[in-house]
Chains A and B, each alone.
Chain A
């Protein structure tokens, strides 16, 4: 690409002006700066530091937190294979090896000519059309051996990404079952008009009556959250839409943002009217960056329709607009307080709570953070009323839930059901056969086995943010858990000791079992680690990091037992194997050069 020397001020000044030199936009500035050269040049940081009056250490500290930002040259082509378990099941590792061998590179290492780097990344949210990958942060799905050959050729020939076949970048919605939300065809402005006709308080009351609960997984009452925020004192109030859909196996927000963006933005505007916010943010995960032009266009259209901006729909004082902030590869930013830190241009470290965002959120002001699906659902309630909504679903879980179905089934994609649907019904409708297990709500959720398939999707039974990953009888549930544990270790923010170190210890223990060095001792260690992480971790990531292992040990014990070759403790360290390097260097391979023979026994 372009020679970086001495040209930084030119492009950076444009970026800085666009972001008002505002430190709260540091992450957005760094993302834009990286686009120019594929990494953030050291001289570029000098210029940013000077222009923004920020210490270099702060800028590097922020950049160093996010997986998609690079402080060293990372290749003109940065290829990241999505590494969720569903990608694994679809053969992503072999495909990555094939690409690496065709390009003569090692995974994770920049090629000597600086052309390309190939590696893995956490789930890219394309599990219904995997295996997936990101090339320079743009998604490509349905990776096949043929597609890998073509990509290798395109990279070798240095064809710019914009000239790659458009079919590579096609992304499907795969909506398989529609209910109240996915069937809705809300005219832009309809929900806002309903709100303005009914009144702010009355509309809030409808949302409370609807018993709508947050769709991001935690299930807090949306009406109460909005009311708390409205009643909290602060210089300003903010609305934030959490579109950092990072939980492996979840992809419903991607489809909502693609096909129902108007409804999502309208839900945010309803909230703004009720809590008295002038500014909203949509925090879009970096993996969904391809959606950005579409979302910007919808926002622009809404401004033109007077559904955003000043005096919305002619109501003086009803001023609200929405900015989109991009993430850059950090699962933890889906946690609401970490998301707010990231919105403020900082490292995505979860805050100490209380206080909660409803009183101390963005810039320490009262802030509502809701999931994409939650905001969209509020439009249905504004139009149809709370009682109507509360009549759908179950007593504790009103309305509908969109499931992101992936894994071993004939028809992966989105399935919207009223709450209360059984697992068995979902499995039947998506064409799953010989199902061994379903992972509900991703790695941080719960793994259920065949004798539990009569359980229901509901807050008081199987609560979920939407992920629904299916594993048939041929799958090794140990490898499922190991994949999830590695995910948590990769995504731990590193703030607190138990999660930072504990998730890595857990990964190492699972690798030890995978290597055939497991013993009952290791099981006891995992149990102890779980108690420690549950009781001392700073946030939910640490609390749930052991869940996949404990769940699968409990329900799929044979998958572990076959790896327990030893009754007694076996260390992970193999002394004889460690000697192999010395043997190679000395050219010896006699019995005296082996531990077992020299010591008689192992």
Chain B
């Protein structure tokens, strides 16, 4: 493998290996490109478009675009950040996001990215969709009001847990998350706390019950420092929720309905 391949990101030289996408190489080099549906542990998806950059002058999602030698990539520019802010505003008005009453506040990537990009208002008219909460499961709550359709839980459950607890249904603005049960209720799936899918939601949809405010507001991930300034360990993105296998309880057998 050629170790000498590089591209530039906002003027900085970034090394990359064959097969890496722009954002993967950038994260490995300790650089931040705003993102929501991307998580380094999963195959890039390319749906939120927050990570859009200009690669050799052409706009493209940096999570799915592979760099070419000497490619000139622009990311932290006024133009791109304005567009990202507009995309965030779209995500905010599409769902029902009330940060002050959300227990994910301070740990939420959508909120932290909005702070990072200095989003001051939703700008667009709110859609106020009707999305009932699913509190059927003994351990977990699903608050669909905050879903940004990143499909990380879909991918985690399908590709890691081998369960297919989550899927997207509907089309267009009516796209929505569903669970794998005839009743449509999480309690009737084999979802459990040991699932990867329980720990990947970048916003506040999949929430563990009875631990909501264990870490007080003010002492949470993004209360300490902005999303862009969190130190990056080798190759991984600290911003994205990760499950640490060692700290998780052993995987129980599938629950009956």
Contact = CB atoms under 8 A, between A and B. Distances in A.
10 contacts: A352-B44, A352-B64, A493-B171, A494-B175, A497-B50, A500-B94, A500-B149, A504-B172, A528-B86, A536-B52
Interface string A43-69: 001100000000111101101111100
Could you say which of A42, A66, A535, A537 has the most chain B C-beta atoms within 10 Å of its C-beta? A535
A508 to B, nearest CB: 7
Interface of A: 42, 45-46, 55-58, 60-61, 63-67, 330, 347, 352, 489-498, 500-505, 508, 528, 531-532, 535-538, 572-573
Given A352-B64, A528-B86, A538-B46, A57 B173 contact: no
A138 to B, nearest CB: 23
Interface SS of chain A: helix, strand, loop or mixed?
helix
Contact of A492 (B90, B173, B178, B182): B173
Contacts of B72: none
Interface string B73-91: 0000000000100110011
Interface string B149-191: 1000000000000011111111111110011111000000000
A352 B171 CA distance: 18
Contacts of A61: 167-169, 178
Could you say which of A57, A330, A531, A535 has the most chain B C-beta atoms within 10 Å of its C-beta? A57
B47 A501 contact: no
Interface in B85-111: 86-87, 90-91, 93-94
Contact of A58 (B148, B164, B175): B164
Given A55-B164, A57-B164, A536-B87, A490 B180 contact: no
A347 B168 contact: yes
Interface of B: 44, 46-50, 52, 59, 61, 64, 83, 86-87, 90-91, 93-94, 124-125, 127, 148-149, 163-175, 178-182
Top 7 A-B pairs, shortest CB-CB distance: A64-B169, A494-B175, A57-B167, A55-B164, A501-B90, A57-B180, A61-B167
A597 to B, nearest CB: 27
A242 to B, nearest CB: 20
A60 B178 contact: yes
A61 B166 CA distance: 10
A508 B167 contact: no
A50 to B, nearest CB: 12
Contacts of B175: 494-495, 500
A489 B172 contact: yes
Nearest to B126: A573
Contacts of B168: 61, 347, 494
B48 A64 contact: no
A64 B124 CA distance: 27
A39 B31 CA distance: 51
A56 B124 CA distance: 36
B93 to A, nearest CB: 7
A55 B161 CA distance: 13
Given A57-B164, A64-B169, A504-B173, 6 more contacts: A57-B167, A57-B179, A352-B61, A496-B46, A501-B90, A535-B59
A46 B182 CA distance: 8
B182 A497 contact: no
Contacts of A66: 171
A545 to B, nearest CB: 11
Nearest to B184: A60
Contact of A64 (B87, B171, B180): B171
A180 B86 CA distance: 50
A570 to B, nearest CB: 13
